[in-house]
């Protein structure tokens, strides 16, 4: 498939996704608003970091399963904030426990002849069991609303990922095209390079012919060595195919950063082989330029889902 045909297909296919993203949703239930924020960062695996109220700890497994199924991989941070807007609050002060702490602290203060503590109330509120929640379980209706909100936040994050992925895709296409152009600019330097190597080969052959006897095995080895040095056609053909395959994979409909990484490695292998066989300063410069573009592609591939 030629380069132009590959580009024409990109307009009609699902594009790659960035691994980073952000999604937010607001859930309104009786007496409270629940704010859900999901942030996705780079990671080879699914790494879930929940920051949720203790009330929802029993639902953590369900939340993890939902996010893992939709977001696949990445460092996924979930922030869940509850804002009470009703007359009743989720947190209650246990007056009996607070009174008991106060009496014991007062007795200890008098016994040790300590001064008055202006922060006594703050200290009391931090003591175990002074503050408690009267709600033991999440109401099923509330959970269904939260689950719907999570799906909305995930959808918003996915939209963010697609938008960033489109920017990355355009960058990949530009850099792949540059690598292709640099490889095509190698052609004018091939004929003088081959002529130079051919002259060197003839000289070595003439030196061998002047000897009364020579090692035929050595001669065959020298011949094979120079033939390989003369020809980089296969490397150029494979490089072109790898570049096409990279672009085709961008348009598969599945965002597959790992596969693109493997193809980038194959591109790098062919570029390195061309460089090692070139034995020409001008070609080496083009190889360096190709490597530079490829490294920039590899850096960005770490951010592809």
Give per-residue pLDDT as tens, 118-140.
888 888 877 887 876 655 567 88
Q: Is 5 exposed, middle or buried (0-12, 13-18, 19+ CB in 10 A)?
A: exposed
- If one counts the domains in the chain, the total is 3
Q: Are residues 110 and 192 both part of a single domain?
A: no
Contact between 162 and 17 (Cβ < 8 Å): yes
- Checking if the pLDDT of 77 tops 50, the result is yes
Residue 154 falls within a domain, yes or no? Answer: yes
Q: Which H helix or E strand runs over 26?
A: strand 21-29
- pLDDT at position 189 is 85
Collect all residues with Cβ–Cβ distance below 8 Å to 172 and sequence separation of at least 6. 246, 250, 297, 300
Residue 12 falls within a domain, yes or no? Answer: no
Q: Which residue has the tokens 């409270």?
A: 32
Q: Are residues 101 and 228 both part of a single domain?
A: no
Q: Are residues 145 and 176 both part of a single domain?
A: no
- pLDDT at position 53 is 85
Beta bridge partner(s), residue 84 = 32
Average pLDDT over residues 56-77: 92
CB atoms within 10 A of CB 233: 9
pTM metric for this prediction: 0.69
Please tell me the distance from the alpha carbon of residue 38 to that of residue 25, in angstroms, as a whole number.
9
Lowest mean pLDDT among 139-148, 245-254, 258-267: 245-254
Please tell me the distance from the alpha carbon of residue 10 to that of residue 139, in angstroms, as a whole number.
47
User: The domain containing residue 22 runs over which residues?
Assistant: 17-88+138-161
Residue 21 falls within a domain, yes or no? Answer: yes
φ, ψ dihedrals at 114, nearest 5°? -95, 155
Q: Are residues 181 and 124 both part of a single domain?
A: no
Contact between 87 and 32 (Cβ < 8 Å): no
Q: Are residues 117 and 145 both part of a single domain?
A: no
Beta bridge partner(s), residue 40 = 21, 76
Q: What is the pLDDT of residues 265-305, one digit of tens each?
A: 999 999 999 998 887 889 999 999 999 999 999 999 988 98
Q: Are residues 119 and 143 both part of a single domain?
A: no
Q: Are residues 156 and 169 both part of a single domain?
A: no
Please tell me the distance from the alpha carbon of residue 95 to that of residue 78, in angstroms, as a whole number.
34
- Checking if the pLDDT of 7 tops 70, the result is no
The pair of three-digit structure tokens given for residue 71, joined into one six-digit string: 């977001």
Q: Are residues 24 and 155 both part of a single domain?
A: yes
Q: Are residues 63 and 185 both part of a single domain?
A: no
Residue 1 falls within a domain, yes or no? Answer: no
Q: Are residues 203 and 283 both part of a single domain?
A: yes
- Checking if the pLDDT of 184 tops 50, the result is yes
């Amino acid at each position: 498939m030629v380069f132009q045909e590959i580009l024409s297909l990109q307009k009609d296919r699902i594009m790659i996704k960035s691994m980073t993203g952000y999604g937010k949703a607001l859930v309104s239930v009786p007496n409270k608003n629940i704010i859900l924020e999901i942030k996705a960062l780079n990671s080879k695996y699914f790494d879930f970091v929940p920051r949720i109220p203790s009330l929802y700890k029993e639902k953590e497994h369900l939340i993890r399963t939902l996010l893992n199924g939709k977001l696949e991989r990445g460092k996924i941070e979930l922030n869940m904030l509850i804002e009470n807007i009703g007359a009743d609050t989720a947190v209650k002060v246990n007056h009996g426990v607070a009174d008991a702490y106060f009496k014991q602290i007062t007795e200890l203060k008098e016994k040790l002849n300590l001064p008055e503590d202006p922060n006594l109330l703050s200290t009391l509120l931090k003591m175990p069991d002074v503050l408690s929640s009267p709600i033991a379980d999440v109401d099923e209706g509330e959970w269904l609303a939260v689950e719907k909100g999570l799906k909305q936040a995930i959808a918003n994050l996915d939209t963010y990922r697609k938008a960033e992925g489109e920017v990355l895709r355009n960058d990949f296409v530009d850099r792949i095209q540059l690598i292709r152009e640099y490889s095509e600019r190698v052609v004018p330097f091939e004929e003088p390079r081959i002529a130079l190597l051919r002259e060197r080969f003839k000289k070595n052959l003439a030196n061998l012919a002047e000897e009364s006897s020579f090692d035929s095995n050595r001669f065959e080895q020298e011949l094979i060595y120079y033939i390989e040095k003369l020809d980089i056609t296969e490397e150029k053909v494979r490089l072109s195919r790898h570049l096409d395959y990279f672009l085709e994979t961008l348009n598969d409909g599945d965002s597959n950063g790992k596969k693109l990484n493997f193809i980038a490695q194959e591109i790098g292998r062919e570029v390195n082989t061309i460089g090692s066989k070139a034995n020409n300063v001008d070609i080496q410069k083009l190889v360096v330029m190709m490597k530079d573009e490829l490294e920039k592609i590899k850096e960005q591939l770490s951010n592809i889902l």
